[in-house]
């Protein structure tokens, strides 16, 4: 039987998972999770409007969700979001910063007139300011700024509350447990403006997940998770620990950039990639980005039948190390090697947004947020960074940083 990159056979896990959800009925929130004005989230039965999707419980929130959700980050198509909701994919994931706010505004338009208990929405807010290189919060990072940004999100969405509010893009235990932001999240929940609180992470996921468990505050972790990741053994362990502690886990970055290579000559079998993430039964749902109706169609197929076939397993090249991949592990092993202290993981994530997802706006915003110039490696005679994945870091950093030569409003 074939093995995953991690050496773990997922087939038996998946079988158990599907047996566990078979027969799931009406999705309902635990009454204790509801506050004044909040309505119980009741999605239709699995065989009706959820289009026959497999369902899983979200930790101990009392909510059950279809295993496939919509990452709205790259989509500016109202009709696609409408069709997604109508097809039974009822969990939408957005963020305060996506498309500089237009993403939340677009979702707000789509949600107008829809019963509040017919969809489940998550948004994310970053703690600011933070050190661009370490990602740690500074003494100036306050809960007030965080909550003010969240109020803007609610206004754009046209909602009185969201279902999950995430502290976005956290890398370290210290950040998960950063008291001013924990208090802000707690107050948002107490005031009824969010039903659940979570933390999202693109890197160092096991540490972040374990800190979320330690906090006894968070309900959900939104974690990077895909077949390319080299820390899957530890990540799977951390997810199991989170489940044990009652935390829900939602997966992002499951498609690993959509292409193996920068030239886009080797497309990733995204159906297989999504199924791979869902083969971990500890993951409640995944939020693949959708920008086209055929993405929706494919994701609905996966939601109904997530079993990874032998051919799909082969397509993911799980037993070989592909060369020149786009996906940066975000492991941070490069950080201490660069004398100019460049935030290399963020720059290489931006590189993936540009060449993999073709989302130049997101790539531009991320590069600009790091504060590096248009040619940050110019004064370096030679590159001292030895990337754990063997990437030519200087070439990628130089390539993506030049995006800033274009005026910002080209990407607005």
Residue ranges binding ligand SF4 (CB under 6 A): 328-334, 338-340, 342, 344-345, 348, 376-377, 380, 383-385, 387-389, 391, 393-394, 397
Nearer to ligand SF4 among residue 139 and residue 381 (C-beta): 381
Tell me whether residue 191 or residue 374 sits nearer to ligand SF4 (CB atom): 374
Nearer to ligand SF4, 105 or 261 (CB): 261
Q: Tell me how far apart the alpha carbons of residues 189 and 183 are, in angstroms, rounded to a whole number.
A: 10
State the Cα–Cα distance between residues 115 and 120, nearest whole angstrom: 11
> Which residues make beta-bridge pairs with 248?
220
What 3-state DSSP class applies to 307? coil
Helices and strands (DSSP H and E) totals, the chain: 14, 10
Active site residue 353: no
Task: For the CB of residue 71, give the shortest distance to ligand SF4 in the complex, in Å.
Answer: 21
Helix axes 232-244 and 205-215, enclosed angle (nearest 10): 10
CB 302 within 8 A of CB 317: no
Tokens describing residue 77: 């198509």
Nearest distance, CB of residue 52 and ligand SF4, angstroms: 38
Tell me the closest approach of the beta carbon of residue 270 to ligand SF4, in angstroms. Answer: 21
Would you say 53 or 330 has its CB closer to ligand SF4? 330
- Minimum gap (Å) between residue 337 Cβ and ligand SF4: 7
The residue among 20 and 322 lying less far from ligand SF4, judged by its C-beta, is 322
CA 22 – CA 14 distance, rounded (Å):
12
For residues 252 and 245, give the distance between their C-alpha atoms in angstroms, rounded to a whole number: 21
Least distance CB 4 / ligand SF4 (angstroms):
19
Q: Of these residues, 98, 225, 355, 364, which one is catalytic? A: 98
Nearest approach, Cβ of residue 402 and ligand SF4 (Å): 13
Contacts of 203 (CB under 8 A, 6+ apart): 171, 224, 329, 330, 331, 332, 345
Of residues 76 and 234, the one with the C-beta less far from ligand SF4: 234
Burial class of residue 378, CB neighbours in 10 A (0-12, 13-18, 19+): exposed
Give the residues across from 92 on adjacent strands: 70, 121
The rounded distance, in Å, linking the Cα atoms of 327 and 350 is 10
Q: Which residues of 6-16 are buried (b: 16+ CB within 10 A; e: fewer)?
A: beeebeeebee
* Catalytic residue set: 98
């Amino acid at each position: 039987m074939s093995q995953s990159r991690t050496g773990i056979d997922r087939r038996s896990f998946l079988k158990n998972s599907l047996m566990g959800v078979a027969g799931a009925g009406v999705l309902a929130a635990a009454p204790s999770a509801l506050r004044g004005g909040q309505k119980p989230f009741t999605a239709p039965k699995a065989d009706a409007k959820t289009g026959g999707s497999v369902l899983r419980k979200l930790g101990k929130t009392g909510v059950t969700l279809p295993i496939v959700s919509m990452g709205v980050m790259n989509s500016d198509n109202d009709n696609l979001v409408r069709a997604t909701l109508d097809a039974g994919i009822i969990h939408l994931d957005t963020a305060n910063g996506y498309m500089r706010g237009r993403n939340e505004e677009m979702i707000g338009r789509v949600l107008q007139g829809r019963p509040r208990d017919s969809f489940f929405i998550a948004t994310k807010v970053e703690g600011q300011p933070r050190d661009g290189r370490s990602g740690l919060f500074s003494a100036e990072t306050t809960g007030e700024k965080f909550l003010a940004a969240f109020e803007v999100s609610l206004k754009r969405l046209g909602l009185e509350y969201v279902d999950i509010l995430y502290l976005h893009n956290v890398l370290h235990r210290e950040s998960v447990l950063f008291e001013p932001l924990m208090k802000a999240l707690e107050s948002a929940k107490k005031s009824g403006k969010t039903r659940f609180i979570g933390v999202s992470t693109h890197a160092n996921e096991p540490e972040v997940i374990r800190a979320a468990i330690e906090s006894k505050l968070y309900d959900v972790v939104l974690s990077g998770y895909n077949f390319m990741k080299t820390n899957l053994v530890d990540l799977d362990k951390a997810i199991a620990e989170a489940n044990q502690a009652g935390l829900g886990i939602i997966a992002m970055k499951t498609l690993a950039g959509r292409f193996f290579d920068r030239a886009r000559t080797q497309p990733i079998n995204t159906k297989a990639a999504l199924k791979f993430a869902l083969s971990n039964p500890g993951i409640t749902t995944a939020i693949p980005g959708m920008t086209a109706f055929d993405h929706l169609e494919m994701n609905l197929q996966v939601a109904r039948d997530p079993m990874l076939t032998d051919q799909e397993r082969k397509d993911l090249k799980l037993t070989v190390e592909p060369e020149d991949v786009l996906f940066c592990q975000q492991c941070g092993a490069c950080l201490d090697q660069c004398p100019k202290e460049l935030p290399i993981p963020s720059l290489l994530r931006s590189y993936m947004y540009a060449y993999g997802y073709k989302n130049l706006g997101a790539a531009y915003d991320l590069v600009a947020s790091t504060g590096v110039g248009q040619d940050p490696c110019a004064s370096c005679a030679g590159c001292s960074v030895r990337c754990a994945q063997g990437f030519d870091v200087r070439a990628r950093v130089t390539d993506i940083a030049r995006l800033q030569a274009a005026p910002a409003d080209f990407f607005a």
